[in-house]
Structure 1
Amino acid sequence: MASPTADERPVAQLVHDLSQQTSTLVRQELKLAQLEMQQKGKKAGIGVGLFGGAGVFAVYGIGALVAAAVLGLATAVDGWLAALIVAVLLFTVAGVAALVGKKEVSEATPPVPEQAIGSTQLDVQEIKDRSGRA
């Protein structure tokens, strides 16, 4: 006797096969996603490392520019005074940046989605009100 074709198999067998194939497909898709995320993680790690290296070179470049500013100003005034002027200028820029940063951080705290919470509370209240009227 020949084995039954897909059209001749009972519904229970078809449902069982579907269940097995679905779970196999889900496992394979999860494995694929895991491998893809590992590859992307490696690339992201390399990218972050390169950004870090670029930041180090940028800091050295800024230091060289500061030294050039001091040396350039030293042609007009004494060296110690040139260094002092550049240092005061740098501290002023740092102070302004710190104040602006503090203002931005204070506007962002607390780190709670206040508008979303308020909207959700209004939705809950609306549902309660409508269910009370029904």
Structure 2
Amino acid sequence: MISPVHGTGAHQEDPEPPEQDRSVSHLLSAVTTDLQLLFRQEVELAKAEVKDEASRAGKAAGMFGGAGFAGCMVLLFLSLAAVLGLANVIDGGWAALIVAVLWGVAAALLYMKGRARMKTVSPKPERTVETMKENAEWARHPTK
């Protein structure tokens, strides 16, 4: 006679579904937890990278601002030199007026070019709106 403790009786061949179910559910839980942790870490990494890039962009923008100011100073002193140079030939008032008119012409030309380019700019993100419409259409009829 085969005893259930020492032999190969029916008790040893039966699989234990509760332990397997717990094992699978434990694995799924662990995978889900790991994925959540990974996602959080990726989000934190992205935040850190964006913060670093924004800081560098801010510094670069400050340098551009300084360069713009320096450029304005150069134009101011070149204009002053032009006025003083013309003042050797004609009256100082007329020299200043000529330089001012030249700057006015330059400003008008830049304004017209800028206005023409601004007309081509669309404030609405056209491609994004189009893809959003496509996504909404697909969501209404996903089998098409």
Q: How far did residue 10 of structure 1 move?
A: 2.1
Percent identity of equivalent pairs: 35
Match of 2:124 among 95, 112, 122: 112
Q: Partner amino acid for 1:69?
A: A
What TM-score, normalized to structure 1?
A: 0.73
Q: Closer, same or farther in 2 for the Cα pair 1:115/1:58, shift >3 Å? A: same
The answer for the alignment partner of 1:4 in structure 2 is none
Q: Closer, same or farther in 2 for the Cα pair 1:41/1:108, shift >3 Å? A: closer
Correspondence 1:93-112 to 2 at 5 A? 93-109=106-122, 111-112=123-124
Whole-Å Cα distance in 2 between the matches of residues 54 and 35 of structure 1?
A: 29
What TM-score, normalized to structure 2?
A: 0.68
Q: Closer, same or farther in 2 for the Cα pair 1:21/1:56, shift >3 Å? A: same
Q: Does 1:11 align with 2:24?
A: yes
Q: Closer, same or farther in 2 for the Cα pair 1:11/1:120, shift >3 Å? A: closer
Q: Does 1:37 align with 2:50?
A: yes
> Cα RMSD between the aligned structures?
2.9
Question: Any unmatched runs of 5+ in structure 2?
Answer: 1-19
Whole-Å Cα distance in 1 between the matches of residues 35 and 128 of structure 2?
A: 37
Question: Any unmatched runs of 5+ in structure 1?
Answer: 1-7
Correspondence 1:1-134 to 2 at 5 A? 10-109=23-122, 111-112=123-124
Aligned length, in residue pairs: 117
Higher relative contact order (CA 8 A, sep 6+): 1
Q: How far did residue 107 of structure 1 move?
A: 3.1
Question: Greater Rg, structure 1 or structure 2?
Answer: 2
